[in-house]
């Protein structure tokens, strides 16, 4: 290799190394690499001349050019590492995250809990805190569990109190029905458990009824206590505690009136005191009364039909419709809106999915 060629190669190498050192970012560095080692690069062009040389020339020239290629490659790799680290440092310096900022609403949080689901959660939270278990059962029931075991004798006019949806009768004449109340869940509980029993049963119920204040499908919650010394005093305390917790007031006056249900004796209806003004209703004050539930001591015939000896155990039970209570508590005007699945209604009256009702943290998170 002549001295001239040697100094040309050295010049080229130092030019490329200077360009490598001057490359300010990874894109500029890539341009330097392509210009030196790419298909039409300066070092690649020198390597292409080797083929036309004599074997001796090729030996010395080849070694020198390949050495230059290695030096350039190493320099490119070293510079690439530096630029990569610098890019990361720059991002770390410029992109700061304020971890104290509130979270944006995720898609799951944008959904809303239907007010009826909310009210059911509130009710079960209150009774669970008092030590009640929550039980559910099928919507399609037998005549036996919905009526007969609850002291509605076959052919008794009390059955006409409920406008029942019946299924077509089977060969043997028996016919299933859509439960008209949640009481069959308590029947199932009494048949499958031994007292003491403390259970609350929320769920869907059905009656043939459809107007401004009735929908054919509605909701109830019922409660049942069976123990040896259970009496009306316990029932009144439970209902009073429940009403204060549910309506979120420190005190509320209640009125117990005599009534009739086939499955309780005595039977009572319960009103709570309230004030109505300009469409708004307030609890824990006022001179008006609002009927909210029915209750009583479980009829001995019901206990016997459900395998419990009425000479040993007493029980009390209550039942309330949830739909009207939900409307009253949350100021809705039309019962039927509850069942129309209109997202505008849900956006207005729905509850945030993560605001789960708790007694300590607030039932309804207004």
Where does this chain bind ligand 2NL (CB under 6 A)? 183, 186-187, 220, 222, 224, 261, 263-264, 294-296, 298, 302, 317-321
| Interacting residues of 58 by C-beta distance below 8 A, sequence separation 6+ | 50
Shortest distance (Å) from residue 105 CB to ligand 2NL? 37
Shortest distance (Å) from residue 295 CB to ligand 2NL? 5
Nearer of residues 119 and 224 to ligand 2NL, judged by Cβ: 224
For residue 35, which of 70, 72, 82, 87 has the smallest C-alpha distance?
72
Residue with tokens 């505690």: 241
Nearer of residues 214 and 352 to ligand 2NL, judged by Cβ: 214
Q: List C-alpha distances in Å: 12 to 77, 129, 154.
A: 18, 85, 109
Nearer of residues 242 and 261 to ligand 2NL, judged by Cβ: 261
Shortest distance (Å) from residue 270 CB to ligand 2NL? 9
Nearer of residues 169 and 196 to ligand 2NL, judged by Cβ: 196
Shortest distance (Å) from residue 323 CB to ligand 2NL? 10
Q: Which residue is nearest to ligand 2NL (CB)?
A: 319
Shortest distance (Å) from residue 360 CB to ligand 2NL? 29
Contact 136, 124 (CB under 8 A): no
**β partners of residue 220:** 203, 321
Per-residue three-class SS string for 256-317 = EEEEEECCEEEEEEEEEEEEEECCEEEECCCCEEEEEEEEEEECHHHHHHCCCCCCCCEEEE
Nearer of residues 80 and 240 to ligand 2NL, judged by Cβ: 240
Strand, helix or coil for residue 134 = strand
């Amino acid at each position: 290799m002549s001295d001239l060629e040697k100094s040309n190669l050295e010049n080229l190498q130092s030019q490329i190394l200077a360009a490598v050192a001057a490359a300010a970012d990874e894109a500029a560095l890539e341009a330097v690499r392509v210009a030196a080692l790419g298909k039409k690069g300066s070092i690649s062009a020198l390597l292409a001349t080797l083929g036309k040389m004599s074997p001796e020339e090729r030996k010395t020239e080849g070694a020198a050019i390949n050495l230059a290629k290695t030096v350039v490659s190493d320099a490119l790799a070293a510079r690439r590492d530096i630029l990569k680290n610098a890019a990361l440092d720059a991002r770390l310096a410029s992109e700061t995250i304020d971890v104290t900022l509130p979270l944006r609403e995720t898609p799951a949080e944008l959904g809303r809990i239907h007010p009826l689901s909310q009210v059911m959660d509130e009710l079960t939270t209150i009774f669970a805190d008092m030590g009640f278990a929550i039980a559910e059962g099928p919507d399609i029931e037998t005549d036996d569990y919905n009526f007969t075991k609850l002291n509605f004798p076959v052919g008794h006019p009390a059955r006409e109190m409920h406008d029942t949806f019946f299924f077509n009768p089977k060969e043997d004449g028996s016919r299933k029905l859509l439960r008209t109340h949640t009481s069959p869940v308590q029947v199932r509980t009494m048949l499958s458990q031994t007292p003491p029993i403390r259970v609350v049963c929320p769920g869907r119920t059905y009656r043939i009824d459809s107007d401004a204040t009735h929908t054919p499908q509605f909701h109830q919650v019922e409660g049942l206590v069976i123990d040896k010394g259970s009496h009306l005093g316990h029932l009144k305390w439970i209902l009073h505690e429940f009403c204060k917790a549910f309506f979120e007031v420190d005190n509320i006056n209640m009125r117990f009136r005599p009534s009739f249900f086939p499955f309780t004796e005595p039977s009572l209806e319960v009103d709570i005191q309230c004030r109505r003004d300009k469409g708004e209703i307030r609890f824990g004050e006022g001179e008006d009364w609002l009927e909210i539930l029915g209750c009583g001591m479980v009829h001995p015939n019901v206990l016997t039909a459900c395998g419990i000896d009425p000479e040993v155990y007493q029980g009390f039970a209550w039942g309330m419709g949830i739909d009207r209570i939900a409307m009253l508590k949350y100021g809705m005007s039309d019962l039927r809106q509850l069942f129309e699945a209109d997202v505008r209604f849900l956006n207005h009256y729905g509850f945030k999915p993560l605001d789960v009702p708790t007694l300590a943290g607030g039932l309804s998170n207004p």
